[in-house]
Amino acid sequence: MRPPKTPTDFDYDLWTTKDGRYMVRVKSTGEETEVDKETIRFLRAEEHRMRDGASRTNSEDYQEPISLAELSTDELPSEDVSTSRWLADPTDFTQDIITAAVEQEFLASLTLTQRKIYIEVIKKGITQKDYSKTYSICESVVSRHIQAIRKKAKNFFKKI
């Protein structure tokens, strides 16, 4: 049996950025990449298994960890590209692009005041009370604009 790896054999660094992205750096090349939550969990679990294995005094009890996925920065698998979570980006941004385009078209149908209220109150989540204080508008006026926005949205999205 092979003795356990030690954390010094661990050839990549893992961290999470302030904005919640998961990052990996290959120590030998210094290359950094963003990975998904599933990949970071797998890599952290692997790191913990290596540390646990290194702290054991009896290497006879050690069993080689079973790799759940083959992760490589060098190449995609030759058989099935969809199995490579490391290099192939599974995200399809088509729906996001369509949604953004439709939203821009909808915003064009709003008045300037309605557009500001939509962005601040509906999109960003600022309360009607805070918006009315910030822009020195009566809260009931803000509420009426929101009702008008909802009515326009209902009519606009019926067409689509």
Write down the pLDDT at residue 13: 80
**What are the structure tokens assigned to 6, written together?**
């030690």
Q: Which structural domains are found in the chain, ordered by start?
A: 7-83 (no CATH), 94-159 (1.10.10.10)
Give the contacts of 2 (CB within 8 A, at least 6 positions apart).
64
Residues 6+ apart with CB under 8 A from 83: 69, 77
User: Is 83 a residue whose pLDDT tops 60?
Assistant: no
3 state DSSP class of 70? coil
CB 22 within 8 A of CB 35: yes
Lowest mean pLDDT among 49-53, 54-58, 91-95: 54-58
pLDDT band, very low/low/confident/very high, at 132 (cuts 50, 70, 90)? very high
**Mean pLDDT value of segment 112-117:** 95
- What average pLDDT does the structure give for the chain? 77
